[in-house]
Structure 1
């Protein structure tokens, strides 16, 4: 598939065919592409939890679903996904890397960073998973773990303290689903988001 078609076809998919597992070789390509993402100082401070077994996926949903939340259409379709990949960032890996002699920030002060590159880089890696899924004929959706469910998730899967889950991705063969109401907003015109040489035009909303 041409790259331009991959980008054009990428969307968040919220319903999957539960009878079509993701082939193991495809899972390996998803992960191999993820770790090709850029990272500050080549720190590569990411970690991925791969849940391909039914029992493991059920544990994930039990740990991350807020109490009292019923099986809404959105959640019901997401739970059919045959694969879940949870992306994590590791701030310590970056602070350690930039304390090395070629960088020289020996104080390991997070305040030196204009943005949390550990989270940004894990996001880059996640996007490569989403794009690779499209290239493989799959659908995928990136979503967050509710803050109040992060601790139960950590405990359930033994996530080390240095690793923070920035988001999870369901992956699988797409089944018919409803377009998100958010899509009614449409893409913002380029002249609202791209500024050439000087910031002009309508204020960003």
Structure 2
């Protein structure tokens, strides 16, 4: 158990886990993961996010049935991921941000989306997802963030009653790690600061 490790170790150890064993996750751990997600920053403290938690086998199976394209899901990557006993779907709500910034202390009464330089509703929800990933690592578990195919989102909404004004930004699968192969993507190596950090001028 690696719970309570130093923050630097959490950051170093965090990676996408693609193979899980089916052991259940302690519900108290899931609650800590969700609680930490609620501490993510959000523009204007809008908190325009929601989290759909699927932690029962039947609900997890319904998720995969709704979101898997025809003929997919049989490769080893998918099979390992499907064994994760808990799925958390972070959803962003643009409406919450437009309404928040139309309040008196902000003053954008027209709720014009073009005022926003980037979609903070997605960014803030993504930061909440990252806090979940870090907490999972701190708890000694594994997690993988992945996306729902766009063409399967309507089926996902229907299956779980998700409102139209909430957009799934991805899914956090979490559980106990099982041995897995090193992802081919990692062969690219991590880019160093000298390649991505620009000081004073690009």
Q: TM-score range by the shorter chain?
A: over 0.9
2:31 to 24, 28, 33: 28
Which residue of 1 is the match for residue 64 of structure 2? 61
Matched, 1:120 2:162: no
2:132 to 104, 129, 132: 129
Could you state the TM-score of these two structures normalised by the residue count of structure 1?
0.95
| Aligned mates of 1:78, 1:138 — CA distance in 2 | 14
Change (3 A) 1:70 1:23: closer
| Aligned mates of 2:28, 2:192 — CA distance in 1 | 39
Unaligned runs of 5+ in 2: none
CA RMSD of aligned residues (A): 0.6
Which residue of 2 is the match for residue 71 of structure 1? 74
Cα distance, 1:178 vs structure 2: 1.2
Matched, 1:16 2:7: no
Cα distance, 1:197 vs structure 2: 1.2
| Aligned mates of 1:88, 1:80 — CA distance in 2 | 22
Could you state the TM-score of these two structures normalised by the residue count of structure 2?
0.97
- 1:165-180 mapped onto 2 (5 Å cutoff): 165-180=168-183
Query: Which consecutive segments of 4 or more residues in structure 1 shift more than 2 A?
Result: none
Q: Aligned with 1:84: secondary structure?
A: strand
